């Protein structure tokens, strides 16, 4: 807690004044272009990795960067996706996994979850990725976990496509979906290429070439 409070004092002394005009303009409104969905993991900071300033990324973070499919009892992720797409009209949604993800490693390794029943229940939303990953052979437990992290991103993109707001925006051509995977040690990001069904370095991904 002491670190946080000292950090806040530092923010107010240093980081805030440098952005005073920005924050003044943002006081009454936001207009982010991207919904960024990533893990709660402390090592993956969306705004740092993408070097975005306040006002630019609408962010969902939960254990495993999971997006449940749409259903009649929508939870927080579904509601936040709906708000981002239907109210804020973001043009892009990024689902971003990361290396060494505790949640996905637990899924890949069938870690006993008896003492964390809520985690176990939540990670069942990665089942559609898990069964695909389990049916393949992997060189090692680490390779299996790495593959699980990527399969999970792909599965969550499929889940996103059951959301009414997402389907509407896709049908109207005003939304693009992206699946990324961030490597903590190297800072590299790979992106999912649906046309080939594989991940490629972001720099070489069609969306990046287009954006360039």
127 exposed, middle or buried (CB, 10 Å; 0-12, 13-18, 19+)?
A: exposed
Shortest distance (Å) from residue 139 CB to its own copies:
18
Task: Pick one of its own copies, Zn ion, none as the site partner of residue 3 (Cβ within 5 to 8 A by kind).
Answer: its own copies
Residue 175 binds Zn ion (CB under 5 A): no
Per-residue binding letters, 21-40, with Zn ion (x by CB under 5 A)? ------------------x-
CA distances from 19 to 4, 24, 31, 51, 55 (A): 20, 9, 17, 15, 12
Three-state DSSP state, 158: helix
Among its own copies, Zn ion, none, partner that 77 touches (CB below 5 to 8 angstroms by kind): its own copies
DSSP 8-class letter at 108: H
CB of 78 to its own copies, least distance (A): 5
The answer to whether the beta carbons of residues 50 and 81 sit under 8 Å apart is: no
Contact of residue 101 among Zn ion, its own copies, none (CB under 5-8 Å per partner type): Zn ion
- Is 39 annotated to bind a ligand? Reply is yes
State in angstroms the smallest separation of the CB of 18 from its own copies. Answer: 11
What is the pattern of x (binds Zn ion, CB under 5 A) and - over residues 70-109?
-------------------------------x-x------
Task: List CB contacts of 19: < 8 A, sequence separation 6 or more.
Answer: 53, 54
Could you tell me which residues are beta bridge partners of residue 200?
Answer: 191
Q: φ and ψ at 27, to 5 degrees?
A: -55, -35
**Interface residue list for Zn ion (CB under 5 A):** 39, 41, 101, 103
Detail the residues annotated as belonging to a binding site for Zn(2+): 39, 41, 98, 101
């Amino acid at each position: 807690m002491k670190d946080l409070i000292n950090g806040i004092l530092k923010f107010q002394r240093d980081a805030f004044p440098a952005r005073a005009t920005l924050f003044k303009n943002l006081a009454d409104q936001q207009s982010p272009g991207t919904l960024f969905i990533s893990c709660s993991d402390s090592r993956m900071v969306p705004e740092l990795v993408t070097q975005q300033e306040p006002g630019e990324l609408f962010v969902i973070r939960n254990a495993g960067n999971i997006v449940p499919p749409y259903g009649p009892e929508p939870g927080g992720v579904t509601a936040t996706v709906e708000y981002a797409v239907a109210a804020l009209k973001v043009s892009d949604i990024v689902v971003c996994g990361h290396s060494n993800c505790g949640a996905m490693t637990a899924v890949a390794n069938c870690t006993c979850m008896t003492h964390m029943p809520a985690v176990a229940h939540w990670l069942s939303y990665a089942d559609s990725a898990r069964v695909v990953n389990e049916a393949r052979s992997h060189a090692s437990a680490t390779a299996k976990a790495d593959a699980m992290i990527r399969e999970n991103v792909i599965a969550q993109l499929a889940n996103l496509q059951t959301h009414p707001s997402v389907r509407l925006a896709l049908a109207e051509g005003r939304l693009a979906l992206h699946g990324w995977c961030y490597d903590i040690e190297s800072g590299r990001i790979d992106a999912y290429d649906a046309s080939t069904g594989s991940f490629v370095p972001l720099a070489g991904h069609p969306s990046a070439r287009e954006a360039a």
